[in-house]
Amino acid sequence: MAARLNDGTMAGRVSKVVLDPNKGVVTHLVIHRAENRGPDRLVPVDQVLVGDEEQVQLRIGRQELEEEVRFDPDYFITLEYGDWPGPYPVTAQPIVAWGRPYPAEGLPLEPPEPATELPFVAAGTPHPPAGSIVLEPEMRVFAFEGQPLGRVVEVLSDPQSGVATYLVLVDNQGDAVNRLVPTSWIRSVQGSDITLAVGPRVVERLSVYPEVG
């Protein structure tokens, strides 16, 4: 699919789409630059003016495209239909989801908003926001269709806000492989049970913790 700038000139092509699996909506397009003019860029979908099956026209110009966050595939997880509960976007492009810390060029890519309206915090967080949902070790984690995935061994938090950003998940076999799960993928919390918005295949593709760098 071709991608054009706001003046009609060619920006490149849409090589992938970025999905928020909790909501089943596309949040960004990955623009592969025309004639290899620099690294691929992540363009928010609200910067798309019009589009059809063959091309999209962006609201931004070439300089603004240069300022968008660089796309690094190491920080994204490939999704296949059935990996999240839906809805499913109509697209021929590969679908990926934000799945790791993303310090690209000093410009952090904000993760999708959690499905819950209240923030997640780790147990013992001082002065948590009112109504926060507490996450703690030993909570059980399930896929969106109910398959058991394992248990939480640690909750990682943003040091500035205190909001929980990742779960460290150990699988049901209890081996040494821990997975780093974004809290933005949490679909619901009921008692000591956490349900994610993704399936087991996605969790298997996540980063091993602490080897995430």
Model confidence over 128-140: pLDDT tens digits?
877 889 999 999 9
90 in any annotated domain: yes
Amino acid at 143: A
Q: List beta partners, residue 58.
A: 48
Residue 104 lies in a domain: no
Contacts of 120 (CB under 8 A, 6+ apart): 114, 132, 133, 134, 135, 163, 164, 183, 186, 189
- Per-residue pLDDT of 19-72, as tens digits, reads 999 888 999 999 998 666 778 999 999 999 998 888 999 999 999 999 998 888
Question: Are 11 and 85 part of one and the same domain?
Answer: yes
Q: Of the candidates 42, 66, 98, which is a domain's last residue?
A: 98
pTM of the model: 0.84
- What CATH number corresponds to the domain at position 18? 3.90.50.10
**Residue 14: domain span:** 2-98
Q: Are residues 133 and 194 in the same domain?
A: yes
Average pLDDT, the chain: 85
Same domain, residue pair 143 and 87? no
